[in-house]
A and B are shown apart, each in its own frame.
Chain A
């Protein structure tokens, strides 16, 4: 969690230094969800999420270098600089992105669960969405089908209480998202407690393999604004943010537990933090060395199999590529 936190804070600085462009949605505050979920499952299980995807990718085994290089649009990025902040993927570890259309990842996740069941893989899919996306009609369409076909799908509502700048109660007549399944059971979980998240995900996985879909509502909080253009203070008070930081911070909670049980000393924790800081700084330095994508990359990967067509940019010189 500390590595995720440090990574997101560093991304914030890189954005302000204009080294990252485009969109950038940060996850700090919500780390316990990514970490707790990962602790309960294996890489055979699939995860799919929306655009706030940096930490889920890291949790699935992605590297800091891949994260920073992708954020800066470089070749060493996990999508070779073609995805950007919202489109991280790691298929070999069961991470299917990284989606920019709010809500669309939930039917896609149910499709992954369908394929897992079809292939008799004994694995499940966690489809993550925010409280904003929870009101999308296609969620209910996908949940209906998932329940009809007993798909091993776990719908995880990461409720950080604001869909962009709209408070949950202004967008949902019933903000009790775990109850919205009607015929599908739901659990409300303290999403600031990594252990609670782990227990819930373990239970949900067993349930989904036996009985079909289940909803987990993670009560969590994001410290940053929605994206880099949002100071995050027009629709909520600074007191509210600092209150959550002081009382419910997921990293502080674990730190206190570690110290209380003498698992590590204050000094050891400080050293770990220093190490993480160094790791992040090194990854950023390396990412900066990675070159930008070659111009013909603009046209590559549009198709897996093309018809040998030659494509070029408006000047017909520099940007040329023969498609496969």
Chain B
């Protein structure tokens, strides 16, 4: 039983308010990712849960108990730091067993748990080495092992993979996921890599500037972003935004696109005719003619390619029309010259609409 609940949580560093009254429920056994741009307060939130920062206002509850004034050691949490934070003067074995030794666990129990972690993380060959004699990936595994052996109620990760190369990161992602499935404790995972968040988490919390912008499953935040910020933050390359105007019958007019985009009937709460809206389109939903599936309902327009980035299996086209730039995905790519004019199709069933003032989504809340 280790649900983590943040209630009106505030953190002030002197005059500066880093966390601005957030509320969040992290269910028992769930894997929650905190994402957001640099400086938005992810680490601060995590460190408050860990007990490394004081709480300025509000409550942190772990398993129903308010832990605001409990020291870290009494909270039943373990943390994996971005810098690994291993004890430099101890061997790998001593690093792993430190927490258990000082809390006076019986020898046999310590050995059993350490052996367990060593096997899962394949640390066997390095047990007698010091952290300085390990590679980044090996250190990372020791840091995870150290957290594992304590069998904590809550696992806290602060960007644990950001110092690893792409291949190792991929591998460790799978390891962490497996570990979570096996141990079944609550995980709070801070990252600014949205791929990590999307692939690992049950629930993603998107933060900006000390506030929570949206909470939802990876599919939810991707398909129905709550506002322009989330829409832009989740998904790579980023979603394209166009200024549009509401016409008769729910048609959205965008300058220089001849036909209006017809939103899926009933999906949006549209403002009055003549009002402005922001039209959001993911790069994969602006399809270059003859590349990729032809959408069921679509609108055609022409644009001039200003840059193309060939990724091998696809090409990212940056194109412009009437001073508006956007990025489109070209599946099954061919060579494209800069300056070439291409016809694109907008997938009308996949559009996003936002209020230009509040920046909130105009999507009708289902159910």
Q: Do A and B come from one complex?
A: no
Chain A residues engaging chain B, CB cutoff 8 angstroms: none
Chain B residues engaging chain A, CB cutoff 8 angstroms: none
